[in-house]
Amino acid sequence: MVDLNHGSGCVPGRAGNGPSLSERINRRVDVALLEAREAEPPRHYLGASVLGDLCARRVAYAWRGEVSEAMEGRARRIFETGHVLERLLAEWIERAGFNLATLNPETGEQYTFSDGPIAGHADGIITGGPDLGFEYPVLWEAKGLNDRSWNQVVKSGLRAASPIYYGQANLYMGYLDLSACLFSALNKNTSELYHELIPINLAEAQRLVDLAVDIVRGWLPPRLGIASTRVCGYCQFQSLCWGGPYDH
């Protein structure tokens, strides 16, 4: 019998020696998120959001439909949290006096483009707003970043700190015929905001288009760095990439 006056060693939320209440609920949440992800139809295009990846080989593996390590539930939670934060950022930008359109008035859906194997969905287009020294319209891209990534972007700028986001923005600008992008980032740890105006880099956009064509034609890019690098360490294709021969 539990001794309520002197304690009994019972831990709140934990039943006996089994998993705690939090662990049991989290397990169910993660299973539900992963089931929803697996139910989504497979993509038959190269997304603009991945083409700027530091490792083009990873992009090629995904395009080929190679079997990857299963995505952990935590990774899926991070992914979905990002979408929620982007919607919050859009609301703040509108409150600040910017005319932000997140949906194309002609279709009622996100601004999209499709060109052969390449496709993308932009966060929005700012058609007008405060006089801040640049002309409208501009592409608007938003990201919720952890403290480390946010500080890197603030310190070095988007191009140096995040080639994948920089490439994504340039592809959108190129295909949506826009000359600049306002990139907004929310620090998930501190709620600090950072904004950067990015002029279009047509050479970068064309490089990524050419890369997509090469990948679709069957080219497998070389490995990036060594298996112990941070990029490789978190890659879902690590076993596939480093378990076989070095394909040039």
Domains recognised in the chain with CATH numbers:
71-217 (3.90.320.10)
Average pLDDT over residues 107-132: 94
Q: What confidence tier does 243 reach under pLDDT thresholds 50, 70, 90?
A: confident
Residues 3-26 pLDDT 10s: 666 555 555 555 567 889 998 998
Residue with tokens 């139809």: 41
| pLDDT score for 91 | 97
Q: What confidence tier does 245 reach under pLDDT thresholds 50, 70, 90?
A: very low
pTM of the model: 0.84
User: Which is more confidently placed, 71 or 163?
Assistant: 163
Residue 80 has phi, psi (to 5 degrees) of -70, -35
Cβ partners under 8 Å of residue 61, min gap 6: 68, 237, 240, 241
From the list 142, 125, 135, the residue with the least C-alpha distance to 176 is 125
Alpha-carbon gap, residue 143 to 125, rounded angstroms: 15
| pLDDT score for 184 | 98
Question: Taking 80 as the threshold, does the pLDDT of residue 105 lie above it?
Answer: yes
Residue 165 has phi, psi (to 5 degrees) of -75, -35
Rg (CA), the chain: 22
Question: Taking 90 as the threshold, does the pLDDT of residue 40 lie above it?
Answer: no
| pLDDT score for 79 | 75
Question: Taking 80 as the threshold, does the pLDDT of residue 125 lie above it?
Answer: yes
User: What integer best gives the mean pLDDT of the chain?
Assistant: 87
Average pLDDT over residues 116-139: 96
Q: What confidence tier does 208 reach under pLDDT thresholds 50, 70, 90?
A: very high
Residues 219-229 pLDDT 10s: 999 987 766 56
Alpha-carbon gap, residue 17 to 171, rounded angstroms: 53
From the list 43, 107, 102, 33, the residue with the least C-alpha distance to 72 is 33
User: Which is more confidently placed, 245 or 160?
Assistant: 160
Alpha-carbon gap, residue 141 to 93, rounded angstroms: 11
Average pLDDT over residues 83-112: 93
3-state class of 139 per DSSP?
A: strand
- Tell me which amino acid residue 107 is: T
| pLDDT score for 246 | 43
Exposed e or buried b for every residue in 47-83, given b needs 16+ CB within 10 A?
Answer: bbbbbbbebbbbbbbbbeeeeeeeeebebbeeeeeee
Alpha-carbon gap, residue 105 to 14, rounded angstroms: 52
Alpha-carbon gap, residue 200 to 192, rounded angstroms: 26
**Helical pair 73-95 and 21-39, crossing angle rounded to 10 deg:** 80
Q: What confidence tier does 70 reach under pLDDT thresholds 50, 70, 90?
A: low
Residue 47 has phi, psi (to 5 degrees) of -75, 140
User: Which is more confidently placed, 191 or 8?
Assistant: 191
